[in-house]
Amino acid sequence: MTTIQAARPAGKLADGHEQPATVFQPIHFLYTYLHEAIRHELALLSQSLQLLLAGTSTGWPELRRRYIFLRDVYKYHSAAEDEVIYPALELEVANVTPSYSVEHEDEEHLLEEMVDLLLATEQSPTKENLLAVRQLSWRIQTTVTKHLAKEEAQLLPLLLTHIPPREQGGLVAQFLCCIPISTVARVLAWVKPHAAPADRAAIREALAGAVDDPLLCSLLLGWLEADEADGAGSDGLARPGSPSSPGSSGDDEAAAAARSEALRFDELQRLLGEVASCARRRCSRSGIASADLVASADALAAAMAGHMEAEERGVLPALERLCPRPEQRALLWAMVRAMPLRLLERFHNALRKELAELEATIATCQQRLETAAELADTTEVMQRLAARFQFLRGIYRAHSLSEDEVVFPALEGKKVLRNVSHAYTLDHEQEEMQFQTCSECLDRVMATGTLDSRRQRLAELACYYSGVRGSLETHIRAEELELWPLFAEHFPVAEQEHLVGLIIGRTGADVLTSLLSWVRGAMTREEEDAMMLSIRSAASSTAFDAARRYHDPKKGVLGCRHYRRAAQLVAPCCDRAYVCRFCHDEATDHVLDRYAVCEMVCMECSLRQPVAGSCSGCGTCMSRYYCKVCHLFDDDPGKAIYHCPFCNFCRQGKGPGIDSFHCMSCNACMSLELFNKHVCKEQSLKRDCPVCSDMLFESKHPVK
């Protein structure tokens, strides 16, 4: 039971000073008592589920009914916040609530998913369903409790400061009005045990002053006074009306059609709000409002279709006639090119992929443990799991620091965006604690001495990690829906590039290289190019691009003036990277031994690694042709190359018997046209060409 100090009159303190009167704050009903009831119910549901999974209970239908009750109460709570409480708070303190509305959608989806999964498990209690229920339960508990804690840390103090007690009572009353009249009593009975008797009396007093309808006020006060048994409700709760989610549109001032569409969007938004309000109140006008909404949506669709058809008839032919193809490509690129700070969103895509793959790795470990004969058989797969988890934690920590120290301060620096990022900073703090819990659990898994104990500990880790994944996915989705549009609206491209420069400028070389390689794994080629363009633009005044040399700068073809390739050779003689041996020889006073090369640097992701035909980090193919003897890379699509084992060089051509042959007497590769037609001379090519002075034996061109 939670106790909040109830109202008390003014009086004298022992030292003779006036004791100020305290006024009970009714908003505690929602942000203290209701929150406590939700947390308590989640804990009870988790305990009940453990009993079911252990086979000591058969109450699957009852568990599902309780989840239905929690789902519906949470929807009432979310609807009241999204449509009543958050708008009231935004009038006083801007930008603090949008992320919470996004989280409501994800949390309601998780609860809906659990209800469906419990029904499937009740009908078919397979091992897969039981495991899915357990993990989803942890995900719901982690995600919802994190959301409630954030509201209490950020929103509750603001509500207490900016919303007067009488207005708070009105907000509580509107929340209760969101609940169908037939179920209010059950919800209040469920919440009441978490409030002290004195606080219940204060709530009744606050509602009495805030509810104008005498009948409704009498009912609410009666339910609050009734001494009903505590506990969850049944599955008879009616579904609340869905909160409205009005769309928005831009206003093209140059076109009457676009202005008309903007007005139609405004009308659609108004009707959406009216339908949602009628649904909550079960108003008799619901049918008329719904019909008006459908008619408005149809009219908007027809107007937009007509607008686009008019553009296709008038604007498109003019563009085709007046704009050459290069200008058309430039226009298209200007329309679709990514903002520099979308680099963070690409990180999100890679993070989603990594989260899913780590969960799959945990499942693989569980399967290996089921079939292992002894603990040593699981060592390798467990080490891979530990390494993957530490990698995920490290990159997420780097991402969070970049946001907390660079991105969020930039947002808060815009006057109109004050307070917009605080909820995400709280997310980072709680997510770090969740990662720490997982890390400690993983340590226990690795320290176990028997197969049975390792199986048990790994099952615990799977549940903890499921909660982490759900929490992170909700967080990054909220950032994409709320924050990225703000960058497009309030930050010019140059300012975004400056922020990207700050982010990569404070990132270590090894970390940056690993991040770029990792993010590429979740991208298309076009997205990779856009990302590297953003980074190069942000670092245009630095030497960052030195690692990306070009064979053809205008076309973005990597390499040097000698070769097209995506690899640099690390010269063992001076431990520096050069695109090719000729570049090395031109820049130094010694010659590179091509056969001694054992390392290369990928020009796409800058990863230094053993020399090979493709990058071990980002997977980029270094060139069309690669010789592992000479360490020659050449990506020229019009050039044929082969390695001659007798010259021990790579030669230009299609190879012996096709367009060349190796004369053993001359010890040289020659054009096939000279076969049986040339005069053999011992080591005839061990001399310089009289025309160009190149040593004939090492010439890159075939001997004619």
pLDDT (mean) for 660-688:
80
**Mapped to the 3 state alphabet, what secondary structure does 299-358 carry?**
HHHHHHHHHHHHHHHHHHHHHHHHCCHHHHHHHHHHHHCCCCCHHHHHHHHHHHHHHHHH
Q: What pLDDT is stored for residue 356 in this prediction?
A: 92
Q: What pLDDT is stored for residue 249 in this prediction?
A: 34
Distance CA 642, CA 661 (A): 12
Which tokens go with 508?
Answer: 């270590």
Both 471 and 596 in a single domain? no
Both 209 and 276 in a single domain? no
Q: What pLDDT is stored for residue 485 in this prediction?
A: 82
Q: Which of 253-257, 582-586, 694-698 has the highest average model confidence (pLDDT)?
A: 582-586
* Contact yes or no for 248/266 (Cβ under 8 A): no
pLDDT (mean) for 439-460:
92
Both 557 and 578 in a single domain? yes
Residue 299 lies in a domain: yes
- The predicted model scores a pTM of 0.61
Both 160 and 77 in a single domain? yes
Both 510 and 395 in a single domain? yes
pLDDT (mean) for 643-656:
86
pLDDT band at 409 (very low <50, low <70, confident <90, very high): very high
Q: What pLDDT is stored for residue 702 in this prediction?
A: 47
pLDDT (mean) for 649-658:
86
Both 136 and 35 in a single domain? yes
Domain extent for 138: 23-225
User: Pick from 225, 252, 281: which residue ends a domain?
Assistant: 225
Residue 331 lies in a domain: no
For the segment 268-326, what is each residue's pLDDT rounded down to a tens digit?
766 766 676 666 556 666 778 788 888 888 888 888 888 778 777 777 777 777 777 66
Which tokens go with 536?
Answer: 């190069």
Q: Phi/psi class of residue 633: alpha, beta or left (left: φ > 0; alpha: ψ in -120 to 50)?
A: beta
CATH of the domain at 49: 1.20.120.520
| Three-class DSSP category at 627 | strand
Q: Backbone phi, then psi, for 380, in 5-degree steps?
A: -65, -45
* Contact yes or no for 431/472 (Cβ under 8 A): yes
* Contact yes or no for 142/470 (Cβ under 8 A): yes
Residue 597 lies in a domain: yes
Q: How far apart are the first and last CA of the chain?
A: 96
> Which of the two residues, 573 and 207, has the higher pLDDT score?
573
User: Pick from 207, 225, 243: which residue ends a domain?
Assistant: 225
Total number of domains constituting the chain: 5
Both 169 and 110 in a single domain? yes
Residue 675 lies in a domain: yes
Q: With a cut of 60, say whether residue 699 has pLDDT above it.
A: no
Residue 468 lies in a domain: yes
Edge to edge, the sheet with strand 567-571 lists: 576-578, 567-571, 599-602, 608-610
Both 111 and 144 in a single domain? yes
Residue 460 lies in a domain: yes
Residue 31 lies in a domain: yes
Which tokens go with 596?
Answer: 């001694």
pLDDT (mean) for 401-412:
91
Both 166 and 192 in a single domain? yes
Q: With a cut of 90, say whether residue 261 has pLDDT above it.
A: no
Q: What pLDDT is stored for residue 283 in this prediction?
A: 65
Both 69 and 169 in a single domain? yes
Q: With a cut of 90, say whether residue 158 has pLDDT above it.
A: yes
Residue 678 lies in a domain: yes
Both 630 and 645 in a single domain? no
Residue 683: CB atoms within 10 Å: 11
Both 359 and 414 in a single domain? yes
